[in-house]
């Protein structure tokens, strides 16, 4: 559910037997993210039906706390975009998966099939940028992704990031995505981090962590942009 870029040759869940596209087309099932080679990272299971369904009450409340326009990086099949649209909140999603973008557009949402590192409309004007569902791991370089978000966001905007429940988790590895039938993607770089790791990288990337919230078993960090040179770099 990603919009990856220069840090990996293959995008999340893509290539080989295309488990991500298959799962989105079905709208159900479980996808498992696991290390491609020997690594201590635990596997992560994703419920595809929740991605393809409607935003839940918690997610809707998070959206209601944001100002538009909203950029959803790694928008997947567009549940958050659809919810934002119903609220009258202008939003755009980007994702490298053609099937994800197709499904998002079928909901009536605005979505582009592209990398977050490619030119993005309204660069520097997004009041809110969101990285939920583990998308802080896009490309396997959290620092690079944070710096890119710093270029995209408006000067007084908000970056909403979902992180791991384990605040001390901080890892980067080569991963694959696999479905219950054994369909597997090509390897891609991925990262996972908790609030401590995010705070460390945020400081190096001209961000300030404004708050950390634990809500219904999920952890969300709100970041405010700085004014350093990364704000205007292309």
Mean pLDDT of 179-184: 93
pLDDT in tens, 36-70: 987 888 999 999 999 999 999 999 999 999 999 99
Give the pLDDT of residue 6. Answer: 36
- CA 96 from chain center: how many Å? 11
**122-131, 156-165, 193-202, 220-229: segment of lowest average pLDDT:** 220-229
Residues in the chain: 234
Reported as a pLDDT band with limits 50, 70 and 90, residue 14 is confident
pLDDT in tens, 104-160: 999 999 999 999 999 999 999 999 999 999 999 999 999 999 999 999 999 999 999
Higher-confidence position of 56 and 14: 56
Domains and CATH numbers, the chain: 19-231 (3.40.50.150)
pTM: 0.92
Confidence of residue 231 (pLDDT cuts 50, 70, 90): low
**Would you say residue 75 has pLDDT above 60?**
yes
Select from 126, 55, 111 the least CA-distant residue to 87.
Answer: 55
* Token digits of residue 208: 């300030």
The pLDDT tens digits for 91-104 are 999 999 999 999 99
């Amino acid at each position: 559910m990603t919009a990856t870029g220069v840090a990996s040759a293959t995008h999340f869940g893509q290539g080989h037997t295309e488990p991500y596209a298959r799962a989105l087309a079905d709208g159900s099932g479980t996808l498992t993210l696991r290390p491609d080679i020997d690594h201590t990272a635990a596997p992560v299971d994703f419920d595809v039906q929740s991605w393809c369904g409607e935003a839940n009450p918690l997610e809707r409340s998070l959206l209601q706390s944001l100002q538009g326009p909203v950029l959803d990086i790694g928008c997947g099949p567009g549940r958050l975009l659809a919810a934002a649209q119903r609220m009258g909140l202008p939003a755009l999603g980007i994702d490298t998966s053609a099937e994800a973008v197709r499904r998002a557009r079928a909901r009536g949402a605005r979505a582009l099939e592209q990398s977050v590192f490619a030119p993005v409309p309204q660069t520097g004007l997004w009041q809110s940028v969101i990285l939920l569902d583990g998308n802080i791991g896009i490309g396997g370089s959290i620092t690079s992704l944070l710096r890119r978000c710093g270029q995209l966001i408006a000067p007084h905007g908000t970056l909403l990031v979902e992180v791991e429940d384990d605040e001390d988790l901080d890892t980067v590895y080569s991963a694959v995505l696999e479905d219950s039938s054994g369909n597997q993607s090509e390897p891609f770089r991925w990262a996972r981090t908790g609030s401590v790791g995010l705070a460390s990288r945020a400081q190096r990337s001209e961000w300030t962590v404004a708050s950390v919230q634990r809500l219904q078993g999920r952890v969300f960090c709100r970041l405010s942009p700085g004014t350093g040179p990364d704000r205007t770099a292309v």
